[in-house]
Amino acid sequence: MTAEPNGAEEEITIEAKEKAEKAKEEANKLFQAKKFESAIEKYTLAIELNPNVAVYYANRSFAYIKTEAYGFAVADADKAVTIDPSYVKGYYRRAAANMALAKFKDALRDFRIVVKSAPGDKDAKAKLVECEKIVRKADFERAITVDTSKKSIADTLDINTMAVEPSYDGPKMEDDQISKDFVEAMMETFSKQTVVHRKFAFQIILAVRKMMLETESLVDITIPQDAKLTVCGDIHGQYYDLMNIFAINGLPSENNMYLFNGDFVDRGSFSVECILTLFAYKWLYPKSFFLTRGNHETDDMNKVYGFEGEVKAKFSQQMFELFSETFATLPLAHVINKKILVVHGGLFSKNDVTLEDIRKIDRFKKRQPDSEGIMCELLWSDPQLMPGRGPSKRGVGIQFGPDVTEDFLRRNNLDLLIRSHEVKDNGYVVEHNGKCITVFSAPNYCDTIGNKGALINITPDLKLDYKTFEAVPHPNIKPMAYASQFGGLFM
């Protein structure tokens, strides 16, 4: 990945130093133009020419953060502060990357170093205070968690006591049942930046939770002869782009089936609207609308990337806790017509994983995934070009090569892997000799990347048709608007 500093500083020629500086300046311009992958290549060239400069590593660390390669970002920040222990920006970059990985205590140590070195930096001080709050809260929650069988939020809710005030003029359910008219009226309400009554929101979440508690970790999907199935990747709280998907590809129905492959929330500031719409359609069409858990349907991610703050702002902490419980019930994988496996992240660190192993995962026992193991890898892993396996650029999960994909598919009698989890310029990419497809459905991700979104239509005979689309306008609320002090770290 990089040239390694060798303890004692290497002797570098003046010519190499000048070329390294030129590469860094070119990288900085690419970074400003939001061409982060190209910037990484130039920073890498600068490092290869002169591996003794802390700023090269810190700058590349920031570019890795922009591409969500947080594991690589931490490694580069480590190198920056090893070369120059007084280089404050290196500690700041490492803190940001560790925050992104929900390694709050590691981030806290670096924020303290930054604030000690630059006591007048109000921004750093605010981030330190916020990080301290998160760590204290996490420690408190661990301290009081002595009984894993404690009553769930779902069991404490009494929907019948939630009155719908006469002044409420939004959509209403008839006889506490979901209907096509209600869902479409709710979506129109969301489009006008108004939320539905909390009673109806709670009913939608509770209905999906009950449904998912009766669902296996691996779900089998059969596409009827008169139907099609559309697979969508990450939408990340981009509600108006979700509405555009339905506009160009049709509203969900028994014959217009959908599978949304995780990361419904976080980053985008309309995550509540996205998840309630998806949950409502799951309730309305339980046998033709499917949802996979992504790595952002987890508490740690929701604390950092905005969903918790958004739910609290639009509804309540109690509702966020119910969402958390419900996210933990979502299935981890789907198999289409016994031949196409769909997961959010990717494959595994072991060779012998079977579909039955996935089916048997007890996701209810462990609500939040560990940092390793099958469940973690399903949510976090990424494909790589070279054969074999490698450490994850994200710092969680693994990277797996074309040979790993082909071996897994062969042993499980499958034809294809579809996954999401990574932004792609054209919305999708086909890799691993056509055996691994990434689909990403959040165009102009975070209002900055400029990528297209994509979806995949699949017919009963398993023919794939890709549709790509551009971002559509949305109200002037920036991504990460509910992410407290940390929004700017990842934008």
Q: If you write DSSP's letter for every residue of 405-452 in order, what string do you get?
A: HHHHHHHTT-SEEEE--S--TTSEEEETTTTEEEE---TTGGGTS-PP
Q: If you write DSSP's letter for every residue of 361-382 in order, what string do you get?
A: --TTTSSS--SSSHHHHHHH-E
Which residues sit opposite 428 in a β-bridge? 439
Q: Which residues touch 75 (CB under 8 Å, ≥6 apart)? A: 1, 2
Q: Which residues touch 311 (CB under 8 Å, ≥6 apart)? A: 271, 272, 317, 319, 320, 323
Q: What is the SS3 assignment for 340?
A: strand
CA atoms within 13 A on the CB side of 277: 30
Q: What is the SS3 assignment for 191?
A: helix
CB 232 within 8 A of CB 467: no
Q: Please give the C-alpha separations between residue 489 and each of 64, 95, 206, 265, 345, in angstroms, as whole numbers.
A: 12, 9, 34, 18, 23
Kind plus residue range of the DSSP H or E element containing 467: strand 464-469
Q: If you write DSSP's letter for every residue of 269-336 in order, what string do you get?
A: TTHHHHHHHHHHHHHH-TTTEEE---TTSSHHHHHHHSHHHHHHHHS-HHHHHHHHHHHTTS-SEEEE
CB 263 within 8 A of CB 235: yes
236 is catalytic: no
Q: Give the Cα separation of 229 and 467 in Å (integer).
A: 13
For helices 104-117 and 122-144, what crossing angle results, to 10°?
150
CA atoms within 13 A on the CB side of 216: 13
Q: Give the Cα separation of 244 and 183 in Å (integer).
A: 16
Apex 429 CA angle, 62 and 1, nearest 5: 40
Name the active-site residue from 236, 296, 421, 474: 296
Q: Which residues are catalytic?
A: 296
